[in-house]
Structure 1
Amino acid sequence: MLAETLFATTVERARSDVRRYCLYRATMSQGFIAPVIIEYVRHRGLSYSAIGLLTALFTLTTLLGEVPAGYLGDRLGRRSMLVAGSALTIVAMLTFGVSRTFAGFLAAYVVWAVGIVLRSGVAAAWLYDTLTRAGEGDAFTVVQGRAKALELAVSAVTALLGAWMATKNWLYPFVGNAGLYLCSIVAVFGLSTSGGGRSDAETFTPVDALPVVREFLSIPGLRSFVVYSGLFTAYLGLVATFTQPIATGIGIDISQLGWLYAGFSLVSAVVTFFSGAIERIVGIRWWFLSAPLCVGVLFVVAPSSPLVALFALFACRVARNVSKPLREQYLNAHADSIGRATILSTVGMISMAFMIGFRALGGLIANVTSPITMIVITNVAMLVGLWLLVVVESPVPKDVVPSAGSGDGAGTEAG
Structure 2
Amino acid sequence: MDRATKVKRAYILATSLQKFGVGWSFSTYVLFLLGQGMTLFEANLLNTGFMVASFLLDPPTGYLGDRIGQRRIYLVGQLFWAISMLVYGTSTTFAQFLAAELAAAIGSALISGALDSWMRNQVGEAETHKALSQGGSISQLVSIPAAVGGGFIGALYGLDKPWLIGSACSFAALVIAYLALRGFASHEKKEDVKFAIRGIARHSMSNPALRFTIIIAFFQTLLLQPFNMFWAPIFKELSGETWWLGSFWVGITLAIATGSHLAQGKLQQLNGKGIALALFAIGLPMLFTPFGRSTYIVAGLFLIHEGGRGAVVPLIFTYANRHIPDEVRSTSNSIRSSASTLGAGIGLVTSGYLTFFLSPIQIWGIASAGIILLSLYAIARKE
TM-score by length of 1: 0.85
Unaligned residue ranges in structure 1 (runs of 5+): 1-10, 399-415
Give, in angstroms, the shift of residue 249 of structure 1: 2.6
Task: State the Cα distance separating 1:35 from its structure 2 match.
Answer: 0.6
1:295 aligned onto 2:282 = yes
- Is the aligned partner of 1:253 residue 2:237? no
Which residue matches 1:14?
4
Verify the 8 A CA contact 1:148 1:269 in the aligned structure 2. yes
1:290 is displaced (CA, Å) by 2.4
Deviations 1:330-384 (A, max 9, x none): 1112111111000000001111222111110101112332111112123334444
**Aligned residues between the structures:** 375
Aligned match for 2:52, one of 31, 45, 60:
60
Distance between the aligned counterparts of 2:286 and 2:300, measured in 1?
9
| Structure 1 residue 294, shift from structure 2 partner | 3.4
Instruction: Kindly indicate whether the alpha-carbon contact (under 8 Å) linking 2:226 and 2:363 is maintained by their aligned counterparts in 1.
Output: no
**Shift in Å at residue 284 of structure 1?**
3.4
**CA distance in structure 1 between the partners assigned to 2:240 and 2:274 by the alignment:** 31
- Please state whether the residue corresponding to 1:368 is helix, strand or coil: coil
2:75 corresponds to: 83
Moved runs in structure 1, 4+ residues, more than 6 A?
Answer: none
| Partner Cα distance (1:17, 1:130) in 2 | 8
Contact 2:59 2:335 in 1 (8 A): yes
Partner of 2:116: 124
Cα gap change, 1:268 to 1:379, in 2 (>3 Å): closer
Measured against aligned partners, the alpha-carbon deviations of 1:7-54 in whole angstroms (never above 9, x if no partner) come to: xxxx82231121111110111112110011110000000001111111
2:93 match: 101
Determine if the alignment matches structure 1 residue 236 to structure 2 residue 247: no
1:227 aligns with 2:202: no
* Alpha-carbon contact 1:236-1:316 (below 8 Å) kept: no
Note if contact 1:209-1:339 (Cα within 8 Å) is conserved in structure 2: no
Query: Residue by residue, what CA displacement relative to the aligned partner does 1:220-261 show, whole Å, maximum 9, x if unpaired?
Result: 233123202431233224312221112213226210101111
Q: CA deviation at 1:388?
A: 5.7
Identity of aligned residues (%): 21
Alignment of 1:206-225 (within 5 A): 207-225=195-213
Give the direction of change, closer, same or farther, for the CA distance of 1:268–1:120 in structure 2 (3 Å limit): same
The whole-number CA distance in structure 2 between the counterparts of 1:163 and 1:185 is: 24
TM-score of the superposed pair, with normalisation by structure 2: 0.91
Whether 1:275 aligns to 2:263 is yes
CA contact (8 A) 2:85 2:167 kept: yes
- Shift in alpha-carbon separation, 1:60–1:270, aligned structure 2, 3 A: same
Counterpart secondary structure, 2:92: coil
1:385: Cα distance to partner?
A: 5.5
Unaligned 5+ runs, structure 2: none
Structure 2 CA distance for partners of 1:341 and 1:128, relative to 1, 3 Å: same
Mapped partners of 1:273, 1:297: distance in 2: 20
Determine if the alignment matches structure 1 residue 42 to structure 2 residue 29. no
Question: What residue identity is the alignment partner of 1:331?
Answer: A
Name which of 160, 182, 190 aligns with 2:171. Answer: 182
What is the CA–CA distance in structure 1 between the aligned matches of 2:107 and 2:146, rounded to whole Å? 21
* Counterpart code for 1:39: L
Q: Matches of 1:44 and 1:241 in 2, distance apart?
A: 16
Q: 2:345 aligns with which of 337, 341, 356?
A: 356
Residue deviations 1:70-104 (CA, integer Å, cap 9, x gap): 01111111111111111001111011111111111
CA–CA separation in structure 2 for the residues paired with 1:85 and 1:106: 18
Q: Which residue of 1 aligns with 2:317?
A: 328
